[in-house]
C-alpha cells in the first residue's frame, strides 16, 4: 500500500506542470523573422527584414504572465532587397548602424487578452533610443517537433514612430511610422 502510494505520488509529480521552460529562438533554422513594412508615398507597402538576430524566451502556458523574452537584432543586417536603399538605411539618415550596431527588445510585462493573444510590454532600444513599446502578440502553437525537440511559436506586431527613435529623415506624411512584425519559434533548451 505504501509502495503504491509512493508510486502514485511520483507519477503525480511527473505529470505536474514543469517550471517555465526556456526556449532559444530558432535562428539557426531560420524559423523566426523580424520584418517591417512602411508605406511608400502612401500608395503601397515597402517590406524589409533584419536577417541577423538572436534571442530566447521562457514560457509556460499555465503562467503566461511570467513569460519573458529578449531579442537582439544586428541592425546592419537590414535587407529590403535593394543594395542602395539598404546602404541608405544603414547610414546616419536612418539606422546609423556603425554607431548603433544592435537593437534590443527586453520584455517587462505581459497582459493576457482574449484567447491566445496578449500584450507584450517591453523596452525597445533602436538607434540608441530606448522606449517602451507594446507588442500585440499571439501564441501560434506549441508541441513536439518531428526531430525529438519541443517548440513554441509566437507572432507579434507593433507600430513605431520613426521620430521617437531619432530617425528624422522625412519620407513623407504616410511614412512617419513603420510596422514591425515578429514571428519567433523557440526550441526548448
Partner 1 sequence: MLKNSSSHYGVVSVVLHWLVAVTVFGLFAAGFWMVDLSYYSEWYRTAPHWHKSTGILLAIVMLLRLLWRWLSPPPQALATHRSWEKKTSAVVQCCLYLGILLLVISGYLISTEDGRPIAVFDWFEVPALGALFTNQADIAGLVHEYVAYSLIALAVLHGMAALKHHYIDKDHTLKRMFGRKP
Residues in contact with partner 1 by the rule CB under 8 A: 76, 81-84, 86-87, 90, 169-172
In whole angstroms, the minimum distance from the beta carbon of 79 to partner 1 comes to 9
Which is closer to partner 1, CB of 43 or CB of 147? 43
In whole angstroms, the minimum distance from the beta carbon of 181 to partner 1 comes to 22
SS (H, E, C) the chain: CHHHHHHHHHHHHHHCCCCCEEEEECCCCCCEEEEEEEEECCCEEEEEEECCEEEEEEECHHHHHHCEEEEEEEHHHEECCCHHHHHHHHCCCCCCCCCCCEEEEEEEEEEECCCCEEEEEEEEEECCEEEEEEEEEEEEEEEECCCCCEEEEEEEEEEEEHHHHCCCCCCCHHHCEEEEEEEEEEEEC
In whole angstroms, the minimum distance from the beta carbon of 175 to partner 1 comes to 9
Which is closer to partner 1, CB of 87 or CB of 109? 87
In whole angstroms, the minimum distance from the beta carbon of 81 to partner 1 comes to 7
Which is closer to partner 1, CB of 28 or CB of 81? 81
Which is closer to partner 1, CB of 86 or CB of 185? 86
Amino acid at each position: 500500500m505504501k509502495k503504491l502510494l509512493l508510486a502514485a505520488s511520483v507519477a503525480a509529480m511527473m505529470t505536474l506542470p514543469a517550471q517555465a521552460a526556456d526556449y532559444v529562438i530558432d535562428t539557426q533554422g531560420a524559423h523566426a523573422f523580424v520584418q517591417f513594412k512602411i508605406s511608400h508615398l502612401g500608395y503601397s507597402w515597402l517590406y524589409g527584414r533584419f536577417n541577423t538576430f538572436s534571442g530566447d524566451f521562457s514560457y509556460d502556458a499555465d503562467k503566461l504572465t511570467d513569460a519573458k523574452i529578449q531579442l537582439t537584432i544586428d541592425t546592419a543586417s537590414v535587407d529590403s532587397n535593394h543594395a542602395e536603399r539598404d546602404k541608405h538605411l544603414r547610414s546616419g539618415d536612418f539606422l546609423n548602424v556603425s554607431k548603433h550596431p544592435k537593437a534590443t527588445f527586453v520584455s517587462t510585462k505581459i497582459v493576457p487578452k482574449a484567447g491566445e493573444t496578449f500584450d507584450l510590454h517591453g523596452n525597445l532600444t533602436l538607434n540608441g533610443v530606448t522606449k517602451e513599446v507594446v507588442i500585440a502578440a499571439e501564441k501560434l502553437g506549441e508541441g513536439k517537433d518531428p526531430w525529438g525537440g519541443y517548440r513554441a511559436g509566437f507572432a507579434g506586431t507593433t507600430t513605431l514612430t520613426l521620430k521617437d527613435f531619432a530617425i528624422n529623415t522625412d519620407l513623407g506624411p504616410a511614412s512617419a511610422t513603420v510596422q514591425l512584425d515578429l514571428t519567433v519559434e523557440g526550441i526548448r533548451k
